[in-house]
Amino acid sequence: MRNVLILIIAIGIWGSYTPHVVTAQGGTVAPTTPADITGDGSAHQLVSAGGTARWVSVIAQSGNAAVIRLGDSTTSSSRGQPIAAGGTFFFPALPADSREAVNQHFYNLGAIYYYAASSDKISVMWGN
Protein backbone atom coordinates (compact mmCIF):
# COMPACT_ATOMS: atom_id res chain seq x y z
CA MET A 1 0.00 0.00 0.00
CA ARG A 2 2.86 2.38 0.87
CA ASN A 3 4.49 1.84 -2.54
CA VAL A 4 1.22 2.58 -4.32
CA LEU A 5 0.81 5.81 -2.33
CA ILE A 6 4.35 6.90 -3.21
CA LEU A 7 3.71 6.13 -6.87
CA ILE A 8 0.47 8.15 -6.85
CA ILE A 9 2.22 11.11 -5.22
CA ALA A 10 5.12 10.87 -7.69
CA ILE A 11 2.76 10.80 -10.66
CA GLY A 12 0.94 13.83 -9.24
CA ILE A 13 4.17 15.79 -8.82
CA TRP A 14 5.68 14.87 -12.18
CA GLY A 15 2.38 15.19 -13.99
CA SER A 16 2.27 18.88 -13.09
CA TYR A 17 5.93 19.57 -13.84
CA THR A 18 6.62 22.11 -16.56
CA PRO A 19 10.21 21.95 -17.82
CA HIS A 20 12.15 25.15 -18.43
CA VAL A 21 13.94 25.42 -21.73
CA VAL A 22 17.42 26.89 -21.51
CA THR A 23 18.97 28.19 -24.68
CA ALA A 24 22.67 28.83 -25.10
CA GLN A 25 23.98 32.29 -25.83
CA GLY A 26 25.28 32.50 -29.38
CA GLY A 27 28.78 33.43 -30.43
CA THR A 28 32.27 32.50 -29.38
CA VAL A 29 34.56 33.60 -26.58
CA ALA A 30 37.79 35.29 -27.65
CA PRO A 31 40.69 35.52 -25.18
CA THR A 32 42.28 38.86 -24.38
CA THR A 33 45.92 38.82 -23.23
CA PRO A 34 47.28 42.23 -22.20
CA ALA A 35 50.94 42.81 -21.36
CA ASP A 36 52.12 41.61 -17.95
CA ILE A 37 51.36 43.99 -15.09
CA THR A 38 54.27 45.16 -12.92
CA GLY A 39 53.37 45.96 -9.33
CA ASP A 40 54.22 49.23 -7.64
CA GLY A 41 53.27 48.44 -4.03
CA SER A 42 49.71 49.75 -4.26
CA ALA A 43 46.30 48.47 -5.34
CA HIS A 44 44.85 49.11 -8.80
CA GLN A 45 41.93 48.03 -10.95
CA LEU A 46 42.79 44.92 -12.92
CA VAL A 47 41.60 46.76 -16.05
CA SER A 48 41.36 50.53 -15.56
CA ALA A 49 39.20 50.97 -18.65
CA GLY A 50 36.65 48.54 -17.20
CA GLY A 51 34.81 46.18 -19.48
CA THR A 52 33.40 42.73 -18.90
CA ALA A 53 34.60 39.15 -19.22
CA ARG A 54 33.02 35.70 -19.14
CA TRP A 55 36.04 34.32 -17.25
CA VAL A 56 39.32 35.69 -15.89
CA SER A 57 42.66 34.03 -15.16
CA VAL A 58 45.29 35.75 -12.98
CA ILE A 59 48.80 34.31 -12.50
CA ALA A 60 51.39 35.53 -10.01
CA GLN A 61 54.67 34.99 -11.83
CA SER A 62 57.06 32.50 -10.21
CA GLY A 63 59.85 35.02 -9.65
CA ASN A 64 57.71 37.29 -7.44
CA ALA A 65 59.09 38.20 -4.01
CA ALA A 66 55.68 38.35 -2.29
CA VAL A 67 52.10 37.18 -2.66
CA ILE A 68 49.78 39.24 -4.82
CA ARG A 69 46.21 39.89 -3.72
CA LEU A 70 42.92 40.10 -5.59
CA GLY A 71 39.67 41.57 -4.39
CA ASP A 72 37.46 44.64 -4.37
CA SER A 73 38.41 48.30 -4.02
CA THR A 74 39.68 47.71 -0.46
CA THR A 75 42.40 45.28 -1.59
CA SER A 76 45.79 45.94 0.00
CA SER A 77 48.96 44.15 1.11
CA SER A 78 46.94 42.55 3.93
CA ARG A 79 43.48 42.31 2.38
CA GLY A 80 42.16 40.23 -0.50
CA GLN A 81 42.63 36.74 -1.90
CA PRO A 82 46.36 35.90 -1.62
CA ILE A 83 48.10 34.22 -4.55
CA ALA A 84 51.60 32.89 -3.92
CA ALA A 85 54.39 33.27 -6.47
CA GLY A 86 53.69 30.83 -9.30
CA GLY A 87 50.05 30.48 -8.25
CA THR A 88 46.88 31.06 -10.25
CA PHE A 89 43.42 32.33 -9.45
CA PHE A 90 40.61 31.60 -11.89
CA PHE A 91 37.26 33.38 -12.01
CA PRO A 92 35.19 30.67 -13.75
CA ALA A 93 32.55 31.28 -16.39
CA LEU A 94 29.21 32.07 -14.78
CA PRO A 95 26.35 29.75 -15.72
CA ALA A 96 23.97 31.23 -18.25
CA ASP A 97 20.22 31.21 -17.72
CA SER A 98 18.08 32.40 -20.61
CA ARG A 99 15.53 33.81 -18.14
CA GLU A 100 18.00 36.46 -16.95
CA ALA A 101 19.66 39.43 -18.58
CA VAL A 102 22.87 38.49 -20.41
CA ASN A 103 24.96 41.09 -18.51
CA GLN A 104 24.44 39.08 -15.31
CA HIS A 105 26.79 36.41 -16.67
CA PHE A 106 29.93 38.54 -16.89
CA TYR A 107 32.60 39.79 -14.51
CA ASN A 108 33.03 43.56 -14.28
CA LEU A 109 36.77 43.95 -14.88
CA GLY A 110 36.79 47.44 -13.39
CA ALA A 111 35.52 46.03 -10.07
CA ILE A 112 38.41 43.55 -9.68
CA TYR A 113 41.47 45.03 -7.93
CA TYR A 114 44.96 43.66 -7.45
CA TYR A 115 47.81 44.47 -5.12
CA ALA A 116 51.38 43.57 -6.11
CA ALA A 117 54.66 44.50 -4.45
CA SER A 118 57.07 46.69 -6.38
CA SER A 119 58.56 44.85 -9.37
CA ASP A 120 56.39 41.73 -8.88
CA LYS A 121 54.54 40.71 -12.03
CA ILE A 122 51.03 39.49 -12.79
CA SER A 123 49.86 37.81 -15.99
CA VAL A 124 46.19 38.19 -16.87
CA MET A 125 43.94 36.69 -19.51
CA TRP A 126 40.17 36.89 -19.89
CA GLY A 127 37.53 35.75 -22.30
CA ASN A 128 34.78 37.92 -23.72
Tens of pLDDT along 3-22?
Answer: 444 444 444 444 444 444 43
* Residue 94: inside a domain: yes
* Residue 8: inside a domain: no
Half-sphere exposure for 11 (CA within 13 Å, toward CB)? 6
**31, burial (CB in 10 Å: exposed 0-12, middle 13-18, buried 19+):** exposed
* Residue 19: inside a domain: no
* Residue 89: inside a domain: yes
Instruction: Say how many domains are in the chain.
Output: 1
pLDDT tens, residue by residue, 62-108:
999 999 999 999 999 999 999 999 999 999 988 766 666 555 688 99
* Residue 47: inside a domain: yes
For residue 69, the enclosing domain spans 30-127
Domain of 53, CATH number, reads 2.60.120.770
Q: Which residue has the higher pLDDT, 33 or 20?
A: 33
* Residue 25: inside a domain: no
pTM of the model: 0.73
Q: What is the pLDDT of residue 107?
A: 92
* Residue 56: inside a domain: yes
